[in-house]
Amino acid sequence: MLEVVDNILLYSEALIFFFVQVRKTNEMTSSALTCKQSHREVSLCLDNISSLPDSDGKILQYVRFTTCPGNRLYLALRRIMSRCGNHDTSGVFEDSWWMVVSEGLPDRFVRLTKGTKSMYNLLNRYGFIDREDCVHHRNAVLVYGNTEPSFVGEVDVPPHIENATGVPQFYPTSGVCWYASFCWVLFANPSVRKLILSFVPNEAKGDAETCLFDRDAAERFRKFLWYKLSIGDNVERDPYEDGQNGGDEFVVLLSKLRIPLIVYTYTGKGKAMKLDREVLYDKKGKACRPNCGEIDKTEPHLVMLRFVDGDHENTMPIQKRIVICERKYLLCAGFMGQKKCGHQVAFASTGEGGSWKDWGISDADAHKDGIGPMFCHFTGNESCGWWKSWKYIVMLTKFFRNGSRDFCPLSPWNLNNERYEQYRNSEMLRGGKGKSKPGTNSVDVVYRWDGANCPR
């Protein structure tokens, strides 16, 4: 269902909201604020369309969700990467950066590299959660402008990772979401990347360095892991049979490369964690143990905390810094694997020097449709704070189960699997707050020693 409104607007309510909020995008030219232009708004229900509508030659500049009354969450065109005029019939540029803005949460940035296909799938297959715990999806207003905006706005993404596309699903039926997460944890954080690469054999180092930027390099690195280290999927079998636990494969890789790693596992009792000496096996059945007994505690090393269905909402929040045996460790990355939909994504601190402000989230299913990693930048002024923001900033995945769409929550808070069910249909009822049973999103987080010890 489409509702089209054509009118001449100077300072319409929509544009006042967008332009004032995107102040906040200081780089917008004054002419963009004052020039009288013809604008077009299209209201649509995303569940009822198979593609975005024709833009009549105009350019898609904003997407405003209308799912949650009283709460405004929108996407704004931030930077055009395509050559001038290279937009498709739906008004979407083939390659462009978009910003996700929601009051009280850090700004998020995502690069779309397949034009309308990317935008349609971003809007149709995902839900965005605001700080009121409401899911923005299904109903949206597309706002088009008549002329090409001079958007060269700043994108708050560290330069070293700005061009990363993430590892996509290689084939329509493949299940390499674990591998995309695996590579993101290994190489998106500068410190972990440096440590891992110092142990990777020379024959694979080039592909390891570029796997987040180049699909072919990612495929070659995957084959190296299988043929030389017996890690991951059998690359010769049907892609439909792909699928591993990214955290397990991470431990096996570090064991084989003799990279120092200490693993702790949540016991399921209170807040206790135990040193994990569990033996994992490569795909040839060779035993692989974490190299915790051989670590020179004065050398760079990693710590992994593994939680199975941990209650991160009520009792065990993920910490930016932890202390173990009087040593301080900084959070670098993590796996999030949801049993409900059989899907795994990953997050990583992408800032240099252990900064907590810059983060990126990788999702293989999104990457296959030209939706890049979702980056977010914390300023310290967010009303929600760092950990509470993580309750909302990971997109809600919509997937088909038993012939209908279902929600798959992937937040590291491990919220109850049914928390957002009240938002699935057109009748949007408030609820889902308060303490509840944890979900089935298992979280494995990776820390690195920052070289400092606690004062005695």
Per mean pLDDT, which of 105-119, 162-176, 286-300 is the most reliable? Answer: 105-119
Q: Which residue has the tokens 């009118």?
A: 7
Among candidates 146, 144, 147, 136, which has minimal Cα distance to 42? 144
Q: What pLDDT, on a 0 to 100 scale, did the predictor assign at position 30? A: 30
Q: Which domain holds residue 396?
A: 159-453
Is 204 a residue whose pLDDT tops 50? yes
Q: Which of 268-272, 308-312, 381-385 has the lowest mean pLDDT?
A: 268-272
Is 400 a residue whose pLDDT tops 70? no
Q: Are residues 118 and 181 in the same domain?
A: no
* Alpha helix stretches (DSSP H) within 22-164: 30-34, 115-125
Q: Does a structural domain hold residue 266?
A: yes
Q: What pLDDT, on a 0 to 100 scale, did the predictor assign at position 325? A: 82
Q: Are residues 198 and 122 in the same domain?
A: no
What secondary structure does DSSP assign to 281-323, as a single string?
Answer: E-TT--EE--SGGG--TTS--EEEEEESS--TTTT-PPPSEEE
| Cα 177 to Cα 200, 266, 329, 363, 419, distances in angstroms | 22, 24, 27, 7, 24
Amino acid in the structure at residue 132: E
Q: Show which of 102, 118, 145 is a domain's final residue.
A: 145
Q: Does a structural domain hold residue 248?
A: yes
Residue 72 binned pLDDT confidence (cut-offs 50, 70, 90):
confident
Residue 29 binned pLDDT confidence (cut-offs 50, 70, 90):
very low
Q: Are residues 137 and 200 in the same domain?
A: no
Is 23 a residue whose pLDDT tops 60? no
Q: Show which of 119, 145, 171 is a domain's final residue.
A: 145
pLDDT higher at 297 or 240? 240
* Residues 76/99, Cβ–Cβ less than 8 Å: yes
Q: What pLDDT, on a 0 to 100 scale, did the predictor assign at position 138? A: 87
Q: Are residues 301 and 444 in the same domain?
A: yes
Rounded to whole angstroms, the Cα distance separating 204 from 181 reads 19
Q: Does a structural domain hold residue 439?
A: yes
Q: Are residues 165 and 110 in the same domain?
A: no
Is 78 a residue whose pLDDT tops 50? yes
Q: What pLDDT, on a 0 to 100 scale, did the predictor assign at position 38? A: 62
Q: Are residues 94 and 167 in the same domain?
A: no
Q: Are residues 141 and 82 in the same domain?
A: yes
Mean pLDDT, rounded, of the chain: 83
Q: Are residues 135 and 187 in the same domain?
A: no
Q: Are residues 124 and 198 in the same domain?
A: no
Q: Which of 47-56, 188-197, 274-283, 387-396 has the lowest mean pLDDT?
A: 274-283
Is 419 a residue whose pLDDT tops 70? yes
Edge-to-edge strand order for the sheet containing 126-129? 135-136, 126-129, 396-401, 404-408
Q: Are residues 190 and 129 in the same domain?
A: no
Average pLDDT for 205-220: 96
Q: How many domains would you assign to the chain? A: 2
Q: Are residues 58 and 199 in the same domain?
A: no
